[in-house]
Amino acid sequence: MPGRLTGKVALITGATGGIGSATADLFAREGACLVIADLDAEALRALAVRLEAKGADVLAARLDVSSSESWDEAIELTRRRFGRLDVLVNVAGIVDWPGIEGTTRESWDRVIAVNQTGTWLGMKAAMPLLRASGNASIVNTSSVLGLVGSGAAAAYQASKGAVRLLTKTAAVEYATQGVRVNSVHPGVIATPMIQDLLDEQGDGQPDIVRTPMRRAGRPAEIAPAMLFLAGDESSFVTGTELVVDGGLTAY
């Protein structure tokens, strides 16, 4: 039987990270041709080898999401290799933990450049190919911290809140142009980005304590949300938030 993404070309940023690699694995199993994009060239090669060994058609593209030139190069490589693009999944992101007074201008600018500007640049660069698909989907990765406050991580929260509303305005703009745009909002997920924090604080990590399921999620538990929004089963879903957080925002 064909997979849920058979015939589709999907570009995933932050592809070597926890959520990115889990999403790439699932998309490959569901039949997608993949453009895996990240800054880490060595990790990209390793991921490409692993996916190709499973039979996937893979293009690895080194990408700095904060650079418009880098985005243009990645999209051109995609056009040359596959001639189309049907799915864009913006996963790449970084975190900075200080609050308002503890955040430096340098760290603020970097977080905004990657998480917020990088998401906008990706949509902007990919949109001509996505519109040409006629049945395309963009999945932007926000966070539960794009929905509620935490009293910390000021730059990260600002960027993820911006991703949420950027997603909505893009959804409205392209609703009649064959491009759906949605956001996924993970809770506490055991990814390399926060693993040190989880190792240090264990079950006493405050957000885990506040999570009704009392545990961190796994990247493989986020990937199916990406798959649903990327595929045709969500054909009437645009401009919405899909929260995957173990109940953290249910209170």
How much is the average pLDDT of 167-187?
A: 98
Residue 248 pLDDT greater than 90, yes or no: yes
Establish whether 156 is a catalytic residue. yes
pLDDT score for 201 = 77
Each residue of 214-246: pLDDT tens digit? 889 999 999 999 999 999 999 999 999 999 999
Query: Phi, psi at residue 99, to the nearest 5°?
Result: -85, -160
Residue 46 binned pLDDT confidence (cut-offs 50, 70, 90): very high
- Choice among 156, 157, 160, 174 that is catalytic: 156
CA triple 230-8-67, angle to 5 deg: 70
pLDDT of residue 139: 99
Q: Which CATH number applies to 9-186+220-240?
A: 3.40.50.720
CA distances from residue 3 to 27, 105, 154 in whole angstroms, order as listed: 9, 46, 40
The 10s digit of each residue's pLDDT in 2-24 is: 799 999 999 999 999 999 999 99
DSSP letter, residue 251: -
Q: Is a pLDDT exceeding 90 seen at residue 122? A: yes
1 pLDDT band, cuts 50/70/90, is: low
Assess whether pLDDT exceeds 80 at residue 119: yes
Q: Tell me the pLDDT of the chain averaged across its residues.
A: 95
Can you spell out the DSSP letters for 190-235?
--TTTHHHHHHHGGG-HHHHHSTT-S-B-HHHHHHHHHHHHSGGGT
66-94 residue pLDDT tens: 999 999 999 999 999 999 999 999 999 99
Domain boundaries along the sequence of the chain? 9-186+220-240
Q: What are phi and psi of 76, to 5 degrees?
A: -65, -40
SS3 label, residue 13: strand
